[in-house]
Amino acid sequence: MRIIVDGMGGDNAPQAIVEGVVQASAKLPAGYEICLVGREDCLRRELAKYDYDARIITISHAEEVIAMEDAPVKAVRTKKKSSLVSGIQMVKSGEGDIFISAGNSGALMAGGLFILGRIQGIDRPAIASVYPVLGGSPQLLVDAGANSECKPGNLLEFAMMGSIYAEKVWGRKEPSIGLVNLGVEENKGSTLTKAAYEMLARSGLNFTGNVEARELPDGACDVIVCDGFTGNVILKLTEGFALHILGLLKARFTEGTKAKIGALLLKDKLRSLKGEFDYSEYGGAPILGVKGAIVKMHGSSNANAVKNTVLKSIPYVEEQVVDKIQNSVLDIEEIVNSEREE
């Protein structure tokens, strides 16, 4: 198996990417390789800092770099020699089995759509993100922001793809699916969520009904389904609130001697809590619905996040998640089409 990693993508590239790849390479099963795509001189210089096995880590040269602020579609169309486009091309040609990047998310999605194409029968590929549960197991949130406007059938697609991913990659048995809605009752919600509810109920998936946003931090279900606008709000609000409250605790707990001593005694607890806010332990966010495996890492990923994403991505390929999604399209097609006919 050959894992392609974008050496140039993300805020901390290439340093953190190369360091993380070296760390991951030491833990890969026999027969696995990692190929770094990007400017060869630059990547070689970084690699030279470490003691690594040159049979496991190779480099594929790509001259251009797609920047975080580049317009996604234009960047993919014009920067054909970028590490991002080259990496996805390698998955398309079979030179690689999966592409992992901390680069421009929009370009990653556009590249997946243009180069690999959609799985037949999937209308809207989506980004599936880790939604952390403090003190519990994470949830998979689909869509995390790729599709700000959705039809009911799209939400059913997200549920089906998320269910397969949660089962095959995270090892959840019959993953429970929750639909983000205004209330838990069946008849609640917008036109979109009411229609999606009906479809999910007939889908044969383990649909457990509506979930209110209030329940998400406690770990309401395995797969959280919503449109990409809502998903983006959920992820970013949680991240913002977590950072805000950590900052506030720190400020309050260092006001006055008594508080400082108290905080010192609680240091281990506070540190472990902070660690739980770290999404990177769980790996990256797959782009589900395209004909090949692409995983997006957070733009600010450090070496540890890169290492985790590489290692946690193995079952995505080994379990043939892309093929399984393709095979499951038929199971939901009739329900999705019933909407189109209406």
Residues that bind its own copies (CB under 8 A): 134-135, 145, 148-149, 180, 182, 189-191, 193, 212-218, 229-230, 232-245, 248-249, 251-253, 255, 258-259, 261-266, 269, 272-273
Give Cα separations from 50 to 9, 16, 19, 61, 323 (angstroms). Answer: 20, 12, 8, 20, 37
**Least separation in angstroms between CB 213 and its own copies:** 4
- Cβ-based nearer residue to its own copies, 1 or 133: 133
Q: 2, 318 in Cβ contact below 8 A?
A: no
**Least separation in angstroms between CB 274 and its own copies:** 12
- Cβ-based nearer residue to its own copies, 1 or 249: 249
Cα angle for residues 5, 115, 7 (degrees, 5° grid): 15
- Cβ-based nearer residue to its own copies, 49 or 244: 244
- CA 218 and chain centroid, separation: 20
Under the phi-then-psi rule, with left for phi > 0, alpha for psi from -120 to 50, and beta for the rest, what region is 86?
A: alpha
Residue type, 329: V
**Least separation in angstroms between CB 258 and its own copies:** 5
**Least separation in angstroms between CB 162 and its own copies:** 18
Q: Which residues are within 8 A (CB) of 13 and not within 5 positions of it... i.e. 6 or more apart?
A: 6, 7, 38, 102, 103
Q: 106, 138 in Cβ contact below 8 A?
A: no
Give one DSSP letter per residue of 126-149, joined into a string. EEEEEE--TTS--EEEE-SSS-SS
Count CB neighbours of 333 within 10 A.
Answer: 13
Q: 256, 284 in Cβ contact below 8 A?
A: no
Angstrom distance (rounded) from CA 9 to CA 104: 7
**Least separation in angstroms between CB 235 and its own copies:** 8
**Least separation in angstroms between CB 330 and its own copies:** 31
Angstrom distance (rounded) from CA 328 to CA 109: 22
**Least separation in angstroms between CB 254 and its own copies:** 10
